[in-house]
Each structure stands twice: as structure tokens, then as C-alpha cells.
Structure 1
């Protein structure tokens, strides 16, 4: 079966992108408190952490045949539009004011200069994140594809998984586990090759080896991975690691892989026109949603909204405005510059 006909993958991408949007809206952090701690919000935050790994897995799966056949040519064709989107949205986010009240009181340059100065404090990290933090996904994806293509081109494809595993382990130990290990890292390990390479590689190998499981096996793997992720997150709070501060842990690997294998086991899920239509806009939704969340946060602040009402307004407003923006731009020549 061709990957483009596995509609469950398209449904999975849609679920993942809306989960990411909800997480970035910082929901449930001011209510449902337990001993003055928003544990419900923290748990919600961590429950979304399968989504980005799923994007990497799907990317590796979809590109495998072409990347295997012509590694460097495919890499160039794959990364060129991604690089363009990354640069364009970085510029947009660098120029877009985040605090409209500060712009009104102190001026545009005063509002922006603080953010630009903050980014310059860690230039290498900023290079891998771009103009706004969520854009880290694009360079990470390109680096994973680059590592894979170089190994394939050199006839060392068998090295991909071992190298990717080493990168992942280091990324976890120098990331969420850093208070225990005190390992040095040149930049925030969520960025760059540390996590993306293994997730991309697993998707690549699943396609290459035609690996399949039953839906029950996949669900079990995902549940074990999720339980491990949450157990790690809770245990790490004893070492001053915030419960909601974990992008990738050891369990995340199993959680994301199990979720992806479940989608492969149910290939006809999401076989509806709206899923197939909307799934084509996932990258566009991803790059544009966080600036719109920032806009909606300003609106909610101006209206002095709090609690569930604020969350509802920010989340629903973000979804509506993002979809209107994306679908509107897709009908114009700007689409090839803004959204690949």
C-alpha cells in the first residue's frame, strides 16, 4: 500500500497538530490547582508529548523510498522548501511584536529590542530555533534527513540506528536529566539532531523493513511508553526538573513509536475528504499557530479574561484564525513562500 493512501497517517498528523496548538496555548495553568500547583495543567502538557515525535516518525516513513534511491538529490528537494519556510517565518516572528501594550506605551523598538537581546544571549541555540521557539522543529527535521542521506550516500545505512540511539540517549541525559548527569551540551538538546534523528530513523526503518504490528500490540507499546514518560517526569521533579518541562524522555520514544504503529495497523482511519484536505496544511498550521496564539493572548489580556474563559477564547480563536489564514494564503501566490 502506498503511504499516500494510508489515511490514518493523515488523521494522525491532524490530531498531533491540534494537540500541539492546545499545548502551546498553556491551558489549565491557573485553575484545577492541587496544593497551589496546577497539576492538571502539568499532566495535560505532558500528555501532548507524543505529537512532535509522531511528526518525525511520519516524515522518515514517507521519505524512505526516495531517500534510499537518490539520497542527496532527495535531500536537496526536501530541504529547500523547508529552509525557505524556516527563514520566512523566522523573519516574521522576529519582526512581530509580542506585547501590544508595550508597543503602545514604549514603542515598537523598545518591545522588540528586549526579545532580540534575549535571542542573542544564546546564538547557536537561536540559530537552531529561528525567530520563535516552535520553529525548532524544521531545522531538527532537516538535520535528521541530512544525517540519514549522508549515511546512505556513503553506503553506511546500517549505522543510522546506532548513531541515532547514541544521539537520543545523550539528548535525554544532557536535557531533562541534566540535574543528575551534569552533562554539557552545546545548546538545548531538544533542538538539532539529538531527538529528531532517532524518531526519523525509526519511521525510515519501519517503511524500509515493512514492519507492522497488530493494533493491540501497538497500543500496548504506546501505553508502556506513556507510563514510562510520566514516571520519569514525576521522578525528575525530585531533582528540580519541572514536571511540565520535558519534551523527550526515554519513554517518549516508545510512546511515539507505538502511536505510529497503531496508525499503520488501522490504515483506513480518517478516510474522509475533510481529513485528506486539511492534512495537507499541517506544516502551514504548525508554523503560523504560535504567532496567532500570541495575538490571542494579547486579546485575552486586553479583555481581562481569566481561567477557563481565557483558555476557551485563546484556543478557539487560535484555531479559527489559523485555519482562516492558512486556507486564505493557500489560494494566493504567497503560499509557495509562506507554506512550502
Structure 2
């Protein structure tokens, strides 16, 4: 396990910000009933978060990982898929206890789609996408090299954007989100970006922060414009598109460029995975049991704080139990 003293506080702060973005987009995507135009902007500007999490996942890969694609994919799967299974089972179980439907069809195709998309726990799509994307990128890196891998990943991302954000203007109708938001069309380009940034991290020290901020603002504005002009409706009319690539990269590079030192970021950063897993359940409780569904800003603040707080407490409790066990 990486000690807090050896962790990069800036990257952990980036994880925390990305978690906040994910909580925000799920609240905004749910309607933002008290101010829909503002909710649209909030939803759009939160879309850097998932790309950053993909990028950060690959940023820490070693070159030795990339020479064995199946081993890398297996290692990633062992790290994330047990959590996927637990949260998915919990989500389905709660739906059944409430008298609802399980949220998937008990057929071979339905089970495959459940594994692909997360089904009723739709936020979990990131995890199987990470596993598949890892296998795709490592395989391409092994047999084609970095340049061709980047080119193919960009082409896949362009195809995914056509299927996703640009489907209505091009085809007159939309497609299910799982057709473009997955480990084939979406994840690879951000995973490759993580590899590239890792290999050239020394050069980032020379990049002027004002230039990075200007790029961030530019791509954020383009992303917002795509959401407004290409789709032109709220809510969830726009997901990820062409400018998302630059937007996510700019946010990541900014945090790689700045130097944060406070160890609190490392404590919080290590808890973001657990908080990501449970945040939809927390939001559901806040909306259903406390009637906060129409108070979106409060939902964001509470959903983020409670999810992260529970995850920090969980990690602290496990560490305490492990310490006592080692002393026994």
C-alpha cells in the first residue's frame, strides 16, 4: 500500500474534485428541479470527472504492465470488479425490497448488458469499461506502438461521439448510453492520455499555468456550446463529446502542474473510490427518505460530503482493525 507521505497530494486533490464532479452531474442529470438552466450548465461543466478517472487509472501503469494485456486487464478486474458485484447486488436487492423490478432482464443478453452497463447501478459502467479499455489499450500498445494506439483510440472516440452526442443531428434519434459510453469507444483515448502524460510528466513542469487555465476555459466553453447547439435540450441531452477530450485533459494537466502539499488530500483521495461506489445510494436516501430531491445544491453538498465521509471512516476502521490484528 502506498503511504500517505509518498502520495502526490495534487493528484489526490484531483480525485476529490472529480468525485465532486460525478456527484454533481448525477444530481444535475436527475433534473435540477429548482433551476433547470443552471442545472444544465452545472451538468456540462462536471463532465471532466469520468475522463479524469480513466486518465488517472492509466497514469500509474508501468511499462511492464503494457507488455501483458491479459495480465493487466486481470489485475484491473481483480481490483474493481468485486466492488462492482457488491454494489450492483446491493442496488438490485434494495429495489426488490421496495417492491420494484430488478432493473434488468434475466436472459443471457440481459445479463451481458448488466455486466456491460451496470444496469440499475448505472454509475458502475466505469468499472467494466476500465477493464475492457485496459485490455484494448495494452493490446494495441503491444502490437502497434504508442502512435498507432493513440490514432486508433482517437478514431474510436470519434465513432463513439457520433453514436452519442451527435446521433440526433446525424441520424434523427439517439442511442442507449451504453453504446458509446463504454470501454471500447470512450475509455481508450483517456487511458492513452494517461500513459502519455506519465511518460512526459517532466515536461509538464515547463508549461505556464495561465496557458493551461486558458486551455481549460476554452475547452469547457466548447463543451458547453456543444451541449447547447448540438443537442439543444435539457436534461441529459448531452453527455460526452469532442470538446470533452480537451476539457478532461486540461483539468488533469492543471493539477499535475500545481503543487499541493496538505496531507488531507491524500486521506481524502484514497477514499474517493469507496465514495464513488456508494454515492448514488446516498443520493437515493437523501431524495427518497428526506425529501431533498428538489433541493439540488443541498443534495450535491450532502451527497458529496456524506459519501466521502463514510468512505474515509470505512478506511480508518479497516486500518484500525488491521493494526489490532497485527498486534494480537
**In which range does the TM-score fall when normalised by the shorter chain?**
0.7 to 0.9
* Structure 1 position 65, deviation (Å): 3.9
Deviations 1:193-215 (A, max 9, x none): 21111011111112124452321
Per the alignment, residue 198 of structure 2 pairs with 207
For the 8 Å contact 1:125–1:191, the answer to whether it is kept is no
Per the alignment, residue 293 of structure 1 pairs with 283
Q: Go from structure 1 to structure 2 and tell me whether the alpha carbon gap of 1:222 and 1:147 turns closer, same or farther (over 3 Å shift).
A: same
Per the alignment, residue 19 of structure 2 pairs with 17
Q: Go from structure 1 to structure 2 and tell me whether the alpha carbon gap of 1:317 and 1:195 turns closer, same or farther (over 3 Å shift).
A: same
Per the alignment, residue 252 of structure 2 pairs with 260
CA distance in 2, matches of 1:47, 1:119: 37
CA distance in 1, matches of 2:199, 2:313: 37
For the 8 Å contact 1:68–1:152, the answer to whether it is kept is yes
Structure 1 position 273 matched with structure 2 position 263: yes
Tell me whether 186-195 or 88-97 shows the greater mean CA deviation. 186-195
Deviations 1:107-150 (A, max 9, x none): x373134x345999965543212240100111111122111222
> Within 5 A, what are the aligned runs for 1:38-117?
38-68=36-66, 71-97=69-95, 108=97, 110-113=99-102, 115-117=103-105
Per the alignment, residue 35 of structure 1 pairs with none
Structure 1 position 29 matched with structure 2 position 17: no
User: RMSD of the TM alignment (CA)?
Assistant: 3.0
Q: Please, which runs of 5 or more residues in structure 2 have no aligned partner?
A: 1-5, 323-328
Aligned residues: 308
TM-score (norm 1): 0.80
CA distance in 1, matches of 2:88, 2:254: 34
Q: Please, which runs of 5 or more residues in structure 1 have no aligned partner?
A: 33-37, 98-102
Structure 1 position 325 matched with structure 2 position 310: yes
CA distance in 2, matches of 1:67, 1:85: 22
Structure 1 position 8 matched with structure 2 position 44: no
Structure 1 position 162 matched with structure 2 position 154: no
* Structure 1 position 320, deviation (Å): 4.5
What SS does the corresponding residue of 1:135 show, helix, strand or coil?
helix
